């Protein structure tokens, strides 16, 4: 039983977690790093369950003041063209742009061209949740200690159309849309060759990040990642939300937010897409939005097919970098039943930290702080400054087991029959 806001914490992991070399010459493992990074979870006892924690997020507190400068990236994908924006954390400034989120301004061409560096500061690439952006309070809380330390460089990849960014090709985003973060990671590797790169994603962004890391496998350019409040299995989360009154309320809120997002880009939608704008504006729930937008945009026959394909639960098996998942058992949106416990146990590169309380991206402490800030920043600081990252040698994802005549590809979610004559 949880008592007076003190949440229980449990860890799910492989029987032999990934061994890590420390810079002082000693050895540790991924589980120990995650455990050491995770302090006791003492939350506001007045916010006594996941629903209350989650609903408290509507309270419009200002949150930490993080300053950004924005760069518009032109997509280098052959199919998914258009543009997206990346907001880079900067020192405080006053030249805010009225049409951008608070404390955000565009880079000048000269300032952006001077960014490339040979320094070795760790760099964190952040992905936000559904219809959010770099301005989200949970995100700013999470990165604040890293910003204040002065030891990190941080940027946030805004999903297309989010955070007051333009949609220039009619494409928004989906839960499998890994191409923009892939482009940013490659750009960062090229322009900051000595920086260790890390990633953190929240909610839908956690699902995208997990898919990306799993798709990249042993070739992933990130040195570590955290997925916070990941829905993992979108088919399961969708069904869980639809079977309760409160779940349908969350579906309604998320559907409304997505309708507003489309409405903000009405002219572009009418110009570049074959989406039925009026039908979209008449939907109520998120799954209805996905039926009208995701299936039409990406070619899925049904929204359920989209959920099954875009889920990141199988991609967990393909991860080959130190990876921590941070979830709450009482999360009413990224529900516990969607967590791939067995897949996490199969992979020594992954550890799940589960708190019994916390809601969805909430974890409100007394005084308004957010508990998730602590394990996130502690994990990244340990990885960046205490672990010998060059000593991590990822195993190949594509291992064939001779006892079977088949092989499961965790990214394609398909069982392949082996040609044993080759």
Annotated catalytic sites, by residue?
203, 331, 360
Which residues are registered as beta bridge partners of 224?
Answer: 198
Instruction: Please give the Cα distance from 241 to 223 (Å, whole number).
Output: 34
Alpha carbon dihedral 288, 289, 290, 294, in 10-degree steps, equals: 140
Helices assigned H by DSSP within 11-105 = 30-37, 50-55
Q: CA-to-CA distance for 288 and 255, rounded, in angstroms? A: 8
If we measure between CA atoms, which residue out of 135, 125, 150, 280 comes closest to residue 209? Answer: 125
Report residue 11: phi and psi, to 5°: -125, 135
Identify the H or E element spanning 180: helix 179-191
Q: CA 384 to CA 382: how far, in whole Å? A: 6
Cα separation, 180 vs 111, in Å, equals 22
Distances in Å between the Cα of 297 and the Cα atoms of 158, 212, 276 are 19, 20, 11
CB atoms within 10 A of CB 65: 11
Which residues are 125's β-sheet partners? 155, 199
- Count of beta carbons in the 10 Å neighbourhood of residue 381: 17
Q: How far apart are CA 381 and CA 198, in angstroms?
A: 11
- Of the candidates 352, 406, 252, the one whose C-alpha atom is nearest the C-alpha of residue 9 is 352
List Cα–Cα distances, 206 to 115, 241, 263, 313, 316, in angstroms: 27, 19, 25, 11, 12
Query: Which residues in 175-188 are b (16+ Cβ under 10 Å) and which e?
Result: bbbbbbbbbbbebb
Residue 31 CB neighbour total at 10 angstroms: 20
């Amino acid at each position: 039983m949880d008592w007076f806001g003190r949440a229980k914490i449990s860890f799910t992991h492989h029987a032999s977690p990934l061994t890590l070399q420390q810079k002082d010459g000693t050895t540790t493992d991924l589980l120990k790093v995650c455990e050491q990074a995770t302090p006791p979870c003492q939350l506001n006892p007045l916010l006594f369950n996941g629903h209350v924690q989650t609903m408290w997020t509507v309270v419009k507190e200002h949150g930490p003041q993080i300053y950004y400068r924005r760069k518009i990236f032109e997509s280098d994908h052959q199919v998914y063209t258009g543009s997206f924006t990346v907001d880079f954390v900067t020192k405080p400034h006053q030249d805010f742009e009225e049409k951008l989120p608070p404390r955000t301004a565009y880079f000048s061409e000269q300032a952006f061209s001077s960014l490339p560096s040979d320094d070795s500061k760790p760099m964190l690439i952040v992905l936000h949740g559904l219809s959010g952006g770099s301005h989200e309070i949970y995100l700013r809380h999470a990165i604040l200690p890293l910003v204040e330390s002065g030891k990190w460089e941080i940027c946030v990849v805004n999903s297309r159309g989010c955070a007051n960014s333009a949609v220039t090709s009619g494409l928004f985003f989906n839960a499998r849309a890994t191409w923009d973060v892939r482009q940013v990671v490659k750009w960062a590797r090229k322009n900051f060759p000595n920086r260790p790169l890390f990633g953190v994603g929240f909610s839908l962004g956690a699902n995208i990040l997990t898919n990306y890391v799993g798709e990249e496998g042993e070739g992933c350019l990130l040195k570590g990642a955290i997925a916070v409040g990941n829905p993992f299995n979108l088919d399961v989360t969708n069904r869980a939300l639809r079977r309760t009154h409160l779940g349908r309320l969350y579906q309604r809120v998320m559907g409304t937010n997505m309708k507003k997002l489309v409405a903000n880009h009405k002219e572009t939608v009418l110009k570049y897409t074959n989406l039925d704008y009026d039908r979209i504006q008449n939907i109520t729930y998120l799954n209805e939005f996905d039926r009208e937008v995701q299936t039409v945009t990406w070619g899925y026959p049904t929204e359920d097919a989209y959920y099954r394909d875009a889920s990141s639960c199988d991609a967990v098996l393909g991860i080959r970098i130190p990876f921590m998942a941070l979830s709450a058992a009482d999360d009413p949106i990224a529900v516990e039943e969607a967590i791939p416990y067995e897949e996490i146990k199969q992979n020594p590169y992954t550890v799940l930290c589960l708190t019994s309380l916390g809601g969805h991206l909430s974890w409100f402490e007394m005084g308004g702080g957010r508990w998730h800030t602590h394990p996130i920043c502690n994990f990244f600081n340990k990885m960046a400054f205490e672990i010998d990252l060059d000593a991590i040698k990822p195993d190949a994802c594509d291992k064939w087991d001779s006892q079977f005549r088949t092989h499961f590809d965790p990214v394609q979610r398909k069982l392949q029959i082996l040609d044993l004559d080759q």
